[in-house]
Amino acid sequence: MNYMSPYVIIDGSMQGIISGSLMLFALMFLSALFLGRLWCGWVCPMGGLQETMEPINNKSINGKKADWIKWLIWIPWITLIISMVVRAGGYHSVDLLLDTQGGISVAGASDRPIIFAYIIYYFVIALFVVLSIVVGKRAGCHTVCWMAPFMMIGLWIRNRFNWPSLRLKASPLECTNCKKCTTNCPMSLDVNAMVQADKMENLECILCGTCVDNCSKNAIVYSFSKGK
């Protein structure tokens, strides 16, 4: 979890150190160039945690109202990181275990009692859990996730250059408009409309494959190809 920390990268940048979280965010950006937001759909523990809350609240999120919020957080945060690096005179060393004593997330040190590590850890967990319980499906991904923008920028670049990558492909003629894909999309996308428009690219799509699994007509499939 510490490698996903929004603070470790700040601490590292202040000291001109390339931290584990900086490396992880860079890998997320690079992976999005060829694999889209596969991380969000298949690997991210925060995403999985939020999906376990769906039996409590599986209300869809209105993306138009919610999706911009994460940019309101991300832009000042990344600006702060860049200004820290500039003040430190750039990056001059690498410490992938910075602030991660013993290589694990929740660990204390002589200068940092373990209670602080637990407070930060449980605050982040609670933030994502409470948002998904109160607001709806994967609300944290839409509103507060500081990692999603790295992948969305990667996706945006990929779509500009349109090189082959993992994506969804639709067959509108096979679609019977049953809307199971829309109902079950964990990112609350109108997948049925995307299929009908034959336009499956959406920066909020996490390539989780739920729509692929739910479509009995095989109107949606994974594809490693060029496309829009």
Helix (H) or strand (E) holding 158: helix 148-161
CB of 75 to ligand SF4, least distance (A): 24
| Cα 228 to Cα 222: distance, rounded to the nearest angstrom | 14
Stretch that binds ligand SF4, among 55-63, 67-75, 83-91, 187-195 (CB under 6 A): 187-195
Site for ligand SF4 in 126-185 (CB under 6 A): 168, 175-181, 185
Q: How far is the CB of 202 from ligand SF4 (least distance, A)?
A: 7
Residue from 61, 144, 145, 195 in contact with ligand SF4 (CB under 6 A): 195
Q: Count Cβ atoms below 10 Å from residue 45 Cβ, excluding itself.
A: 11
Q: Which is nearer to ligand SF4, 11 or 201 (CB)?
A: 201
Task: Confirm or reject binding of residue 199 to ligand SF4 (CB under 6 A).
Answer: no
Task: Check residue 35 for interaction with ligand SF4 (CB under 6 A).
Answer: no
How far apart are alpha carbons 151 and 157 in whole angstroms?
10
| DSSP line for 14-67 | HTTEEEHHHHHHHHHHHHHHHHTTHIIIII-HHHHHHHTTTTT--PPP-HHHHT
**Which positions lie near ligand SF4, rule CB under 6 A?**
168, 175-181, 185-187, 189, 191-192, 195, 205-211, 214-215, 217, 219-220
